[in-house]
């Protein structure tokens, strides 16, 4: 993949993140209702402007890329799904699927980070550079999800398509699957779900 294409592709995550944040602010301040029908296109145009225009020498996208130079396909898909919610009546992923996706992200990230940061002996990250048994594992998971008609299978297919096309600067397959930001967001979603579940259980037992 041409370096220039990667250079543009890396701005996708910051753009989606900022768009999501501005939609959130616009909804909270009821600005969207005030603007009317053109509200959503205006939000998108505004997001593109403040994400990509270098107001202080660097653009907001470049600041976000300074914190994490490699946002995974998982992160991009996650924010694409929640930004798409602003446009479609039916979300691309149900809450149940989103929770499944978050559990997957937390699980794989914990294993990967524990291995990479030296908490366990096994060097999992090294398996991501070339075809290894890890590729067989993800291929099998993708096939199983497809047979189960689980929409997460499309995300898994995107992992391998983007890896084959080398859309990211990293040449490690794990960097296409997860990253620190996705881990933290997914952990938040899983913890929220666990707390919600425990509260409901607690209420039921005392009802």
Partner 1 sequence: MNKNIEIRIREIKRQNMARYLIILLIILLYLIPFYQNYLVLNKERSWDKMKVANHDNILSFSDKPFYSEDFVYQAKPDTMCHVSSICSAGNNKMACTWYAGSRENAEDVAIYFSIFDEEKASWTNPIVLVDRKQCSRELNRYIKKVGNSLIFDDKNGRLWLFYVSIVMGGWSGSTLNYKVSSDGGYTWSKSRKMILSPFFNLTHNVKNKGINFDDGSFLLPVYHEFIKKFSQLVWVRPGETAVQYEIRKMSREKKAIQPSLLHTREKDLVAFFRNMASGERNYILMAHSNDLGQTWSELNNTPLPNPNSGFDMIKLSDGAYLGVINNSFYDRSNLTIVISCDKGKTWKSLKILENTPDKRYAYPSISRSGQGFYHITYTFESKKIKHVVFNEAWIKQLNGYCN
Q: Binding residues for partner 1, per CB under 8 A?
A: 2-3, 57-58, 62-63, 65-70, 112-113, 116-119, 121, 123, 125-126, 129-131, 135-136, 138-139, 142-143, 146-147, 149, 153, 157, 160-161, 163-164, 169-175, 178-181
Question: What's the min distance (Å) between Cβ of 195 and partner 1?
Answer: 25
Please, what's the b/e burial string for 100-136 (b: 16 or more CB within 10 A of its CB; e: otherwise)? bbbebbbebbeebeebeeeeeeeebbebbeeeeebee
Q: Output 12 or 32, the one with its CB closest to partner 1.
A: 12
Minimum distance between the CB of residue 175 and partner 1, rounded to whole angstroms?
Answer: 6
Q: How near is the Cβ of 92 to partner 1 at its closest, in Å?
A: 17
C-alpha span between 80 and 34 (Å, rounded): 25
Instruction: Please say which residue, 85 or 169, places its beta carbon nearer to partner 1.
Output: 169
CB of 3 to partner 1, least distance (A): 6
User: Side-chain half-sphere of 108: how many Cα atoms within 13 Å?
Assistant: 24
Closer residue to partner 1, CB minimum distance, 19 or 115:
115
Smallest separation, CB 64 to partner 1 (Å): 10
DSSP secondary structure, 144-189, as one string: HHHHTT-THHHHHHHHHHHHHHT-SS---THHHH--HHHHHHHHHH
- Nearer Cβ to partner 1, position 43 or 138? 138
Our separate counts of H helices and E strands in the chain read 11, 0
Is the Cβ of residue 91 or residue 130 nearer to partner 1 in the bound state? Answer: 130
């Amino acid at each position: 993949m041409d370096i220039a294409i990667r250079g543009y592709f890396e701005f996708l995550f910051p753009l989606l993140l900022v768009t999501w944040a501005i939609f959130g602010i616009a909804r909270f301040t009821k600005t969207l209702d005030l603007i009317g029908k053109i509200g959503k296109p205006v939000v998108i145009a505004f997001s593109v402007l403040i994400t990509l225009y270098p107001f202080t020498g660097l653009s907001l996208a470049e600041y976000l890329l300074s914190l994490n130079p490699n946002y995974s396909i998982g992160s991009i898909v996650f924010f694409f799904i929640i930004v798409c919610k602003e446009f479609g009546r039916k979300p691309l992923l149900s809450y149940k699927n989103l929770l499944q996706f978050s559990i997957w992200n937390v699980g794989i990230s914990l294993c990967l980070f524990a291995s990479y940061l030296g908490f366990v002996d096994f060097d999992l990250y090294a398996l991501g550079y070339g075809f290894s048994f890890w590729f067989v594992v993800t291929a099998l998971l993708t096939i199983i999800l497809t047979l189960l008609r689980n929409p997460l299978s499309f995300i898994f297919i995107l992992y391998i398509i983007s890896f084959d096309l080398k859309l990211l600067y990293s040449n490690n397959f794990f960097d296409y699957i997860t990253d620190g930001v996705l881990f933290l967001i997914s952990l938040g979603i899983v913890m929220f779900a666990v707390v919600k579940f425990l509260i409901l259980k607690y209420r039921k037992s005392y009802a």
